[in-house]
Amino acid sequence: MAGQAKSVAKGISVLGISGIICKVVGVLFSIPLARILGDKGLGLFQTVFPTYNLLLTLSSAGLPVAVSRMVAHYLAKEEPQNASRVFRIALQILFVIGLTFSLMMFFSNHLLVSLVGVEEASLGFRVIAPCVFIVCLLSAFRGYIQGHQNMVPTAISQLIEQVGKVAISLPLAALGMQRSMAEGAAGALLGITIVEILALVYMIVYTALQRRKSDPQALAAPATASFKELTRRLVAISVPITISACIIPLAQFIDSALMVNRMVNAGLTRDTATSLYGIFSGMVIRLINIPTALALAISMSLVPAVSYAKSLEDHAAIVRESNTGLRYAALIGFPCSIGMSVLAKPILAFFYSGTLTASRLQTASELLTVSALTVFLFTMVQATTSILQGLHHQKIPMYTMIAGVSLKVLLNYLLIGTPGIDIHGGPIASIVCYSTAMIPNLFFCCKYGKMKFNWLDWILRPGLAAGAMGAAIWGLKMLLPAGRITTILLVVAGVLVYAAAAVLLKAVSKEDLSALLRRKKKA
């Protein structure tokens, strides 16, 4: 690991490809799940999931990033024994925290049910509770391996999670629905718990095999950093990251309790409100999450890469890796936002035409048209957050996300409770949220990374290429008849037009193409 920092592009490509596959499988999971559970059952599933996601984030979001950063730091300093000790300490901490939160979720079941206002969610909260403990342990292993700037095991464990959900959660949901809607939703959630166990087993086995290949003398050498010092650093790094990471799940938790009630106050029936919430959170947001997998790939790759360069005081590497991360974020975010917005209705019809009525499909397409615009914003927020974390300024993205989510919750309350707007207020609030976080994050990345704002590569070139793509697929959509084959053709045409425009406008560099060709040859 000594020498120059590894290119963040390698990690992005591995996790990005895996992430896209995982998200596509996730959508393929959601389609039969929606058919099995129905709109209301899907709304019930989504009522439980934000609470689980919030507790999971509170317990495990910050420490894996801190582990990744500290392991990369000690490997850069050629101190593998300290890197190994960081992992052991983090594993102990996450064991205790994860177990505590799982028990809290299991035994405070009735309190959680009263908060979300849905009595049928009780069993779902119980069966998903052990998953918090399992994923806490899993995250420790992922953080340690990512600190070595090896993203392949994380990618494989993510594939296990997604494929496992299709193979296990769907049959359990179908079996549960034979008894009741509540047991159907609980069956899907139980499947997630089982799948996470499988992913954890894989990471444990992989880590054990890798440690056998390591230099035993180097690992056996006495750690130069004390237990107290390493624990203090882990906590100092992870607390702001945890707070920052739990803000969005906290907002989703608030939304799960707020949105349905506000729509009811606006004059909708509770069944209609639950159905609309299920469409927005279980269908539209799930589609939005497909391209954001690439944003998470950028995020996980940037932290150890920037931290590695920071540990060596390699300013050129910091600028290079940060610029690459932001450029990739723009190259991914712009076309995904514009493409999904222009093709919102065809995409939804492709996946959910057998599930949604014509009126519900229209509502969902209106939501996706606006929500798609958050993909670019979210991608840039993730990239800038990771750069700041790698530069040891993890408190800044915490403050910017607090500001953004505060506005989101306020706007959700005001807009969703307004007759005639209702669920359509959700996408507007999200755009305001991520814009509020992105702008100051970019400023501080340039300030502390000692970079110039690269408006040409981050905004203009990818934006123009995505605009050309959007115009092309909009024109083709007007000319061609609606249908699934047409949707596939439009997506393929969009990719080709964007790729050509990106090359012509020099949004994609020769180095990017050379790196891609090298990876293909190696494969």
What pLDDT is attached to residue 4?
39
Tell me the two tokens of residue 141: 């292993």
**Residues 144, 332, 367: CA angle, nearest 5 degrees:** 105
Residues 6 or more apart whose CB falls under 8 angstroms from that of 442 comprise: 326, 380, 384, 453
**What does the alpha-carbon distance between residue 523 and residue 517 come to, in Å, rounded to a whole number?**
10
The reported pLDDT for the residue numbered 435 is 95
Q: Which pLDDT belongs to residue 3?
A: 39
pTM for this entry = 0.69
- The pLDDT value given to residue 116: 66
**160 CA to centre of own chain:** 16
Residue 110's pLDDT is what? 78
Across the chain, which has 523 residues, the per-10-residue mean pLDDT values are: 45 57 67 78 76 72 80 82 88 90 85 73 85 90 84 83 86 89 87 92 90 64 75 83 72 75 84 83 81 69 77 84 88 92 92 80 92 92 89 88 90 88 89 94 92 90 95 94 91 94 85 50 43
Residue the block writes with tokens 């019930």? 44
Taking a C-beta distance cutoff of 8 angstroms, is the pair 185, 45 a contact? yes
Let me know: does 403 contact 437? Beta carbons within 8 Å.
Answer: yes
